A and B are shown apart, each in its own frame.
Chain A
Amino acid sequence: MYGKGLRSLSIATVVAMSAALSLVFFYAPLEAEQGFLQKIFYVHVPLAIISLCGFVIGGVLAIAHLRTRDARWDYRSYVVIHMSLIFALATLITGSIWAKGSWGHWWVWDEPTLVSFLIVFLLYATYQPLRFAIEDPERQARYASVFAITAGAFVPLNFIAVRMSTSFLHPRVLGSTSNLPGPMALTFLVSLGAIALLFATLCKYELTAKHTRAQLRALRRRLAAETPGSNRDGAGARSAAPSAIPVSRPTAAPARTSG
């Protein structure tokens, strides 16, 4: 069920990425102050925006999990946060490359935007170890959801705090201090859309792969139960991934448990 629409989404992503790259290198004009180096922003800023949005979406999905106790919401929250973490890592790396080219330093510790993003990244880097540390699937999902909600609420607060800070060393692409000309704004928006599509596609691939694997495990367990003497269900394997993924469409909404 997660694989539905994957093909069209993949094609849309490839088309959008190609369009974005064409606009970046053949259409967008060179920026007066930074020159060619500014082209990094068409990948760095969308990566940062999408990863931060992903963290917030992960929190929203975790709320849905706690409200419904449906393991599928926890599963989606896990995948979105996992993917956001990868995008956040790409943001840090591309940002460091830009900083080296522009400032001559890979990292500047007294720049609030950089440090706050690193704090968010490190915060979410503890998400998977947290899941891995809890064996009981139900408790794992519940604790992970609480973490995702708390950390998800921290992300916009952190963003606002940085915006309100007085330092403006880090360039502002969007906001009152930015004056993006039309071609640059168009290129930026197309790049943002392409990165968002890439994020959605990779999340869908991850969801489909994990769901297929869960179905396979369920099938193997069922066969093992029917075949005497066989014990090849791999039940002893521990994973940070949600282990209670529903493998078939439920016939009724899951009951909400109290407490």
Chain B
Amino acid sequence: MSYLLAETPALPLHEAGKYVAAAYIVLFAMVLIYVTIMAVRLSRIERELGELLATVEARDGEHGNADAETGT
């Protein structure tokens, strides 16, 4: 396959530029996709934490009402 290199001289800047840009865009797109996934996960965790907090507050409210009714 060494004939390939012999037959393909260096590309001019305007030709090579699009390939170089594509390679770097791929890397940054992958990082961007990963950051987006992390943001989705973070929002899900935040939502679940909110639900848990609401559950705890509701439970504490029920305990408070029960304590008030028994007078303790």
Contacts and interface: CB of A to CB of B under 8 A. Distances in A.
Interface of A: 21, 31-37, 39-40, 43-44, 47, 86, 89-90, 93-94, 97-98, 100-105, 108, 110-111, 167-169, 198, 202, 205, 209, 212-213, 216, 219-220, 223, 226-227, 230
Given A94-B26, A98-B19, A110-B1, A35 B45 contact: no
B38 A97 contact: no
Contact of B55 (A33, A47, A110, A223): A223
B49 interface: yes
A35 to B, nearest CB: 4
B19 to A, nearest CB: 4
B38 A209 contact: yes
B16 A101 contact: yes
A33 B38 contact: no
Contacts of A34: 10-11
A31 to B, nearest CB: 8
A37 B1 contact: no
Interface in B40-72: 41-42, 45, 48-49, 52, 55-56, 59
Interface in B1-40: 1-2, 4-5, 8, 10-13, 15-17, 19-20, 22-24, 26-27, 30-31, 34, 38
22 contacts: A35-B12, A35-B13, A35-B16, A36-B10, A39-B20, A90-B26, A97-B19, A101-B15, A101-B19, A104-B4, A108-B4, A110-B1, A168-B2, A169-B4, A209-B38, A209-B42, A212-B45, A216-B48, A216-B49, A220-B52, A226-B59, A227-B55
B26 A97 contact: yes
Q: State the main secondary structure of chain B at its contact with A.
A: helix
A205 B38 contact: yes
Contact of B52 (A31, A90, A223): A223
B4 A90 contact: no
B42 to A, nearest CB: 7
Given A202-B34, A209-B42, A227-B55, A169 B2 contact: yes
Q: Which of A31, A40, A168, A219 has the most C-beta atoms of chain B within 10 angstroms of its own C-beta?
A: A40
Given A36-B13, A227-B55, A169 B1 contact: yes
B20 A198 contact: no
A227 B55 CA distance: 9
Given A39-B20, A40-B20, 16 more contacts: A34-B11, A35-B11, A35-B13, A35-B16, A37-B16, A40-B19, A40-B23, A93-B23, A102-B5, A103-B5, A169-B1, A169-B4, A169-B5, A209-B42, A209-B45, A227-B55
Contacts of A47: 27
Contacts of B38: 205, 209
A216 B49 CA distance: 7
6 nearest A-B residue pairs (beta carbon): A35-B10, A101-B19, A36-B16, A37-B16, A94-B23, A40-B23
A112 B56 CA distance: 60
A212 B41 CA distance: 10
B19 A100 contact: yes
